[in-house]
Each structure stands twice: as C-alpha cells, then as structure tokens.
Amino acid sequence: MADDSPFTVDADWLQSRLGEPGLTIVDASWYLPAQKRDARAEYEAAHIPGARFFDHDAASDPDAKLPHTLPSPQHFAQYVGTMGISADDTIVVHDGPGFFSAPRAWWMLRVMGVFQVYVLDGGFDRWKAAGRPVTAEPTKIAPNVFHADFDAARVASLSDMRRIVETKESQIADARGAGRFTGTEPEPRAGVRSGHMPGARNLPYSALSQDGELLSKDSLRKAVEDAGIDLSKPVVTSCGSGITAAVVTLALETLGHTDNRLYDGSWTEWGGLADTPVATGKE
C-alpha cells in the first residue's frame, strides 16, 4: 500500500538488512492510558534485534509545562547520542500499531537534521505476528556524538497559531478524532476545552493508514482533499499533544507537500488556555 512513499520501509526490506553497519532501528512506541499498553515493558520483553528504545517523555523538554514538547537541540542531541544514534545513520523507527507515535520520532529526527529516517510499515505488532526475528536481549549501545541541525521553520508556536487563526495565512489540519474535533467528546486531559481552532480542518490520523500500513499516495491525496485541505497551500498540523500530528505531516510530505509545520503545543496548549478562540461542530 505504501510502497510509493519515500518515508516508509517494509518488513522484508528491514529484515534483510538486520545487523548492517549504519542501520539503526528505533522503537518509538508510546501509548495513551486508554490503550492499556506499556511501551517500555513490551520493548524489554521482545524487540527487533538491535533496536533501541526511544522514550518520548525523556526526549521532551524537561522544563516544559506541556507534554511532549520539542526539546532544545542540545537536549535532543544528548538524548539520542546516549542511544548511540548518529545523524549520518539510516534510521528506521517503528511503534506497535504502525502509524501512531513512530511518525513523531521520525519528525523530531528530521527537524533535528536527520534525513535518512523511515517508518516501518505494519509496525512491530505485525512484525511479531509474522514470526519475524525478535529478542529480549538488551541492545549493546556505544554512545555517539549527535550533531543536531535544528530547522525551527518546521515548528509552529502558540503566537504563530494565534496569528494563523486570525489571518488564515495557513491551513490547519487537526489529527484528532471527529468527536474531539467537533466537541461532542470530552478531551482526555483535565482542564482542556472541547472543540477546535476556528478554521481548522479535521483529518484524523487513523484515516491515513490501514492495517498498520500508510495508505497509497492516491488514497492519501483523496483523504487530504476530502478534509478540505489544498495541497498547493501551507499547512500546520496539530493534534492532542503533538504526537499524531506527525502522522499528517508524514502523509503531506509523502505527497510532496513541504510547506508544512507542526504545532508542537497542539490542543493541550490551545484548549487549555482561557483566551484562545474555540469552535465546535464540523466547521
């Protein structure tokens, strides 16, 4: 399905390259409480040989009040350096289901200057179900010096979003489910209002993959356009806390759309403030 994406690799491709120098496998699984899955415990019980665990919380800004805030380039470089990652590596990231939290790690690495980074189609759940190699052996890691080359233009701030909502200079693609977008379902975080940024379009991240695989380019284009998003114009992606917005970013980039940013504070920031405008309903 996603054979035509320049940002994904399939399980056959990865399995045939296990153990190759310069190939780094990163388990970037992270789950919401409702999913009742413990990413680190699952990794320690079974992972792809050579994989190392990417902790989204440890890779976040330790001083931020919001969850999963992009850290400084220095903090990120220190964290991934201890994982033995070099910016010159070919990096394959994955999560359990396929396209949930892995694209966030993909996006972070790209924003910090890594370009040979891909997401594993099908995720680890399908890798394991197919009887492909797994191990519980701890991965031997030699720390590395990671040189971050941060591209700040790919990140949207709260002040950017206030301006965008007012001027409509960019489209906003909201990756949350329809119920949260329209305001008919409560937000999972306390103190966060329901609804969406005025003018935003709803493009649920879950509509961009099937059975753990990214949709084909034609299907991605249809999903994006059906959501009312014009691929010839700038887009900012957003979600609950900045994780699944990256699934939409990956879909846009797959379609050759490069004029996009990710709103890192996402709805937890916007919906948690008292003075930000909030819309409900489908529009």
CA-CA distance, 53 to 94, in Å (whole number)? 10
Which of 161, 166, 127, 130 minimizes the C-alpha distance to 48? 127
Catalytic residue among 155, 239, 245, 252: 239
**Does residue 120 contact residue 29 with C-beta atoms inside 8 Å?**
no
Q: Give the β-pairing of 23-27 and 52-53.
A: parallel
Count of Cβ atoms closer than 10 Å to residue 76 Cβ: 22
- How far CA 211 is from CA of 11, 98, 184, 192, 253, in Å, comes to 14, 8, 27, 31, 21
Q: Is 214 helix (H, G, I), strand (E, B) or coil?
A: strand
**Does residue 230 contact residue 213 with C-beta atoms inside 8 Å?**
no
CA-CA distance, 276 to 117, in Å (whole number)? 35
| Structure token digits, residue 141 | 């890691």
Tell me if residue 186 is catalytic. no
What are the residue numbers of the active site? 239
